[in-house]
Structure 1
Amino acid sequence: MAETVYLNGDWLPAEAAKVSVFDRGFLFADGIYEVVTVYAGQLFLLDRHLQRLNRSLSALGIANRSDSEWQQLFEQAIQKNAIADGFIYLQVTRGADTKRSHLPATMLTPTVFISATHIQLPTELPEPVRVCVMDDIRWLRCDIKSISLLGNILLKQQAVAMGGMEPLLHRAGRVTEGASCNYFIVKNGRLITPPKDELILPGITRDWLVELARDNGIEVHEEAFDLDALYAADECFLTSSSREIQPVGWLDEHMVADGRPGAMTRQLADLFRANAPIAAAKQQAAG
């Protein structure tokens, strides 16, 4: 089945979608994006994604649409592409100008692009991976879900070249996040993750897992921790919309505990798989 995408009011085959060479997303990465997971044809944690979308658009001063309009477009993308399990990708740029200029000449009409992708959901906890501990070289507004991802790409490329799957970033020794994920550690039965500030993107999966853990009696601390605490951790895993929960077995050449997923990582992965489709169904019914 050919992919059908949305671009500026039209649904059309992906290969037919075109944007202006003067689009500010193309020229300046002047835009934002969101990725919403779909379970069994239903949007997962949509209200949270829309809150983050609204925040990002407001931070850039880009015109927004109503939550109901976004939801309708996402649901159309699911239907037109027959998505059971997958992702909805949304990108909004400031729009196309008449020439290249750092400041737009006028208030522009935003460029809106939506696509849908099928995925195969994991049925078991993935094998632990190696991540590479690296300096966080990105800008200082990581809380905005910007399409300006060059720093993230360079860091991920370097991590892969070093034999890792993902970078684990820090600023002057304070752990922040990955190029496309959030990190958690476990120490003495406590689940710890960096706080939500300008240094990390407030991951939707991250936030939901924090709540899921607390609802199930797990002690959670959203607090800054350094590299010494990282290397002393009993468990380490990362989260994202695309990977859910991914155990980490090695930090560069340092093995985390015995290199296998720990008890809390397994417990949270089981809770995630048991609750994610249910939460999506409840949200759909409420909407």
Structure 2
Amino acid sequence: MEYALVNGEIIERSEAKVDVEDRGYQFGDGVYEVIRVYNGKMFTAAEHLTRFAKSAESIGISLPYTPQQLTEMIEELLSKNNLETGNIYMQVTRGVAPRNHVFPAGNVPPTLIAYAIRAVRPLDNLKTGVKTILTEDIRWLRCDIKSLNLLANLMAKQKASEQGCFEAIQHRGQDVTEGSSSNIFIVKDGTVITHESNNLILKGITKDVILDLCGKNNIPVIERTFTVVELAEAEEVFLSSTTAEVTPIIEINGNKVNEGAPGPITKKLQKLFEKEIEKQCGILVR
């Protein structure tokens, strides 16, 4: 039996329902978060919950629970679902109110849900790398908010899928921003380069872990905008996300990166990232 968290109560997932007038359902008026689970333990939970609260605050939603309360409820949810390896998906919306573009007046309680997803590590992608395409970034200008409004991301991801690729690398004009569901890194002259964390990209939790690992292990790293030309000329390219970890990119628009093989810095960061997971969650099963 599977369980979900709905407004502070853990219930059977089959009983979890969304009201037809929930603003998340009608407007995408809410934010979400995904937390990776290894060995039954959450990885970088505090960082994810901090971002969750910041995203909610950015659109004027006050979370009904403290980070500590959320942590305790999610840990209970993990236990009830016996989740060893997978993800916790959680979202909060502005709540249930008659449909109106204006925020509802009065004290409308937000709707908060969470549930467990069983998912193994993407070991094949981590080992061999993935293919990608380039696509114009047509999203809004507050990509730093982890909003439920993901239609542009979905369209880019679908375009990549239809071309037999794992990810779509987005760009505004000549400037690369990020993937449809990932942050993008290049390696140039031995230096790791990734877009600065501003309103044009999501400040990735995995990205921040990678930046920290670079700093601690004498790997030169710069946060700055890079161009489509720099992407094409990069020695290595890789992506990061909660579920994809550190995944090598071996092809972009049919053109091979590093002769179609994961590069040495990417592979080094993969090992360092695994050690970080093991520090927080225990030995990984490969």
| Alignment TM-score > 0.5, same fold | yes
The residue correspondences of 1:1-287 to structure 2 (distance < 5 A) are 2-64=1-63, 65-97=65-97, 99-103=98-102, 104-122=104-122, 125-280=126-281
Q: Deviations over 1:167-188 (max 9, x none)?
A: 0000011010011100111111
* C-alpha deviation, 1:248, in angstroms: 0.6
Q: Find the aligned partners of 2:194 and 2:53 in 1 and give their Cα distance.
A: 24
Residue type at the aligned position of 1:170: H
Residue type at the aligned position of 1:243: A
Alignment TM-score, normalising by the size of structure 2: 0.94
Q: Deviations over 1:90-141 (max 9, x none)?
A: 11000000x2111123331000101012222355733221111110011110
Instruction: Say if 1:164 and 1:252, in contact at 8 Å, map to a contact too.
Output: no
Q: Deviations over 1:238-280 (max 9, x none)?
A: 0111110111111102111211000111111111112212134
Residue type at the aligned position of 1:270: K
Q: Find the aligned partners of 1:122 and 1:271 in 2 and give their Cα distance.
A: 17
SS at match of 1:75: helix
Q: Find the aligned partners of 1:43 and 1:66 in 2 and give their Cα distance.
A: 17
* C-alpha deviation, 1:162, in angstroms: 2.3
**CA separation of 1:122 and 1:158: change in aligned 2, threshold 3 A:** closer
Q: Deviations over 1:124-163 (max 9, x none)?
A: 7332211111100111100000011111001111111123
Structure 2 alignment gaps of length 5 or more: none
Instruction: Say if 1:85 and 1:120, in contact at 8 Å, map to a contact too.
Output: yes
Q: Find the aligned partners of 1:23 and 1:151 in 2 and give their Cα distance.
A: 22
Residue type at the aligned position of 2:21: F
Between 235-244 and 33-42, report the one with greater CA deviation: 33-42
Residue identity over aligned pairs, in percent, reads 39
RMSD: 1.3
SS at match of 1:138: coil
Q: Find the aligned partners of 1:128 and 1:38 in 2 and give their Cα distance.
A: 22
